[in-house]
Chain A
């Protein structure tokens, strides 16, 4: 998983916030995980610029920060869209055809799984089970759950987000 090439657009406010987080947490053992979580909450993702600030602030190496950031699936190295699509590829969803939904979404959005659309509207990720196997195949957009998906339903589901109604 490599960081993408989009230009880092962090603000001074975000940086000040991250520095405060680092300052508050750095004396506690095992603080790298919570700092990464808060950094992701601040920036939405963990680009190299942010990871360097964390490495410098906590006095750990960049390779260690990157190792932890790539170990846990909760961390993202690429920016997330305004709306986050999370398609379940767990066993139940998969046997119900989630792979076809994924290819259809990739085609419709023009991105690969794990990426974000150029306009920043949608990011597409896969996940493992949202706990609604009875509705398989399932996806979430932000906090909304959509079940019993078929390829034909996707346009209608995405439309309100595109139009800013959701």
Chain B
């Protein structure tokens, strides 16, 4: 342990700790901007500068190592003046359209500027006027708001191994973008949105679909239905100031119902349906020597990633549509037929934790079954626009016929959840007496999890990875023959959907020191534990769908409505 003093307070921290970590241990806040714990550690923005004995000048706390007997001062006039100047220089080129910026009130630059009393116009420069990158259906990049902190670049590289973006040029002209200045849609970007949740300012935001939803709700010709993805119940709370990991399913349903004349369905239903289809597909692949390992196909970020990087492995990807697209297809077929609605008059809105799903709804092969995919953030914005007092709402339940789902469907929102739900059902399919419901080996936020199960004489080797950089590691192992698995679950975002790129923006001051992934996932596993049905094949809704419409998993009808195909894409 190393002993030092910060602002006169003694603290002992492990060797190799940074001043920033030591300050945290001493409960002393140092402002940061480019630092994002576990993602970016460059020491380049100079917001976290402090005075330390033995150092010449100010040092960046996020990278400066502690030493025995060191005395650190974090709140001297010199520190404050330097930080203020840094902010004023950043503000000199920042497009200050704060009033209407989607990040107004959640912008980290705005908060620091206020805290330090920075003069936004101290260094007046010509107003920058870079065109927005609106090329993709999921993302808007406004480089005039960018402060070049590189958090997006680091998220894209270190978390996702995608590296669709990087710094271009040098000096004053440096900016972030795709190679050869190609717009986002022409790059290998998978749309995961981890750059959006990493961005401290409004330079990266999702392309909003809220206007289209408001419009549809006021169109008398349209019937509007919403469905919410498993993880939204565990994260929407954060948008309304509730503690991380609070399950607000009941309030969420109530709030959506108050947006307009809409019905609200539970997407866990098609998560269950995915499991029935996917588990049957797995059993079929195992029994009939078809390509293995089978990869899950519920994550659209992962699908675009494999299309770009491992097109030769596409036959290994489950043909099941994602739960979002299964729901869209189900609504525009079964639901419309049953209720005598013309599919073009049904306006389908999904609420998802994800920006890649905005790309997915535009895939031509999926025929616009979902009209608009809204992120958790966008739903929260709509709730605020409608003047709904979220915290005061009484709990309400989803609408029939897509109300009841299982714990297996709910845990789709966390890494390992799809695997666990599939194992609950596949084991049952192979051996009707197999009664295990908890597969704890595949839970948790470890980047790569492996397990082996023996059911009905068959050994099933599974792997679970979240974060595409980890997916890449697994794929390379499989390609080189170092590993062989039966079934692999991949989620593009680290920790799965609960940490998706469409989830609430959490400021670095919180994110750096809170295990968001674990807290949010816990809300889902607690929910799973107390549900009446826990295995997808026990779901009465799913039974009804097979009885009334699909006959059985992987039937001809099921293939027509619930399965899809993939497109190889260029690597760069």
Contact = CB atoms under 8 A, between A and B. Distances in A.
24 contacts: A2-B180, A48-B179, A48-B180, A51-B180, A56-B571, A61-B157, A62-B180, A62-B572, A63-B163, A63-B178, A63-B179, A64-B163, A65-B179, A66-B166, A66-B168, A66-B179, A66-B180, A67-B166, A67-B167, A67-B168, A70-B169, A70-B170, A71-B169, A72-B170
A82 to B, nearest CB: 25
Interface in B368-412: none
A77 B179 CA distance: 12
Given A52-B572, A61-B163, A63-B163, A1 B169 contact: yes
B181 interface: yes
Interface in A1-55: 1-3, 48, 51-52, 55
B166 A61 contact: yes
Mostly helix, strand, loop or mixed at chain A's interface? helix
Contacts, number: 46
Interface of A: 1-3, 48, 51-52, 55-56, 61-67, 70-72, 77
B165 interface: yes
Contacts of A62: 163, 179-180, 572
Contacts of A48: 179-180
B164 interface: yes
Contacts of B167: 67, 71
A62 B168 CA distance: 12
Interface in B143-180: 157, 163-170, 178-180
Nearest to A2: B181
Nearest to A61: B163
A2 B179 CA distance: 9
Nearest to A64: B166
A51 to B, nearest CB: 7
A70 B572 contact: no
Interface of B: 157, 163-170, 178-181, 187, 571-572
A4 to B, nearest CB: 11
Given A52-B572, A62-B163, A62-B179, 8 more contacts: A51-B180, A63-B163, A63-B166, A63-B178, A67-B166, A67-B168, A71-B167, A72-B170
B165 A63 contact: yes
A62 B179 CA distance: 6
B84 to A, nearest CB: 30
Contacts of B165: 63
Contacts of A72: 170
A71 B157 CA distance: 19
B475 to A, nearest CB: 14
Q: Which 7 A/B pairs are nearest by Cβ-Cβ distance? A: A61-B163, A63-B166, A66-B179, A67-B166, A62-B179, A62-B572, A63-B179
B163 A70 contact: no
Nearest to A55: B572
A91 B306 CA distance: 52
A151 B180 CA distance: 35
Contacts of A1: 168-169
A75 to B, nearest CB: 11
A34 to B, nearest CB: 19
Nearest to A77: B180
A36 B357 CA distance: 38
B185 to A, nearest CB: 15
A61 B180 CA distance: 12
Contacts of B157: 61
Nearest to A68: B166
A16 to B, nearest CB: 21
Nearest to B571: A56
A96 B22 CA distance: 56
Q: Which of A67, A71, A77 has the most CB of B within 10 A?
A: A67
Contacts of A70: 168-170
A38 to B, nearest CB: 20
Nearest to A51: B179
Nearest to B162: A61
Question: Interface centre among A51, A65, A66, by most B CB within 10 Å?
Answer: A66
A129 B302 CA distance: 50
Contacts of A56: 571
A123 B264 CA distance: 64
A56 to B, nearest CB: 8
A2 B307 CA distance: 27
A62 B570 CA distance: 12
A47 to B, nearest CB: 9
A3 B166 contact: no
Contacts of A77: 180
Nearest to A60: B163
Contacts of B163: 61-64
A64 to B, nearest CB: 6
B452 to A, nearest CB: 31
A50 to B, nearest CB: 12
Contacts of A71: 167, 169-170
A56 B165 CA distance: 16
Nearest to B171: A71
A35 B445 CA distance: 39
Residue among B167, B179, B187 facing the most chain A CB atoms (10 A cut-off): B179
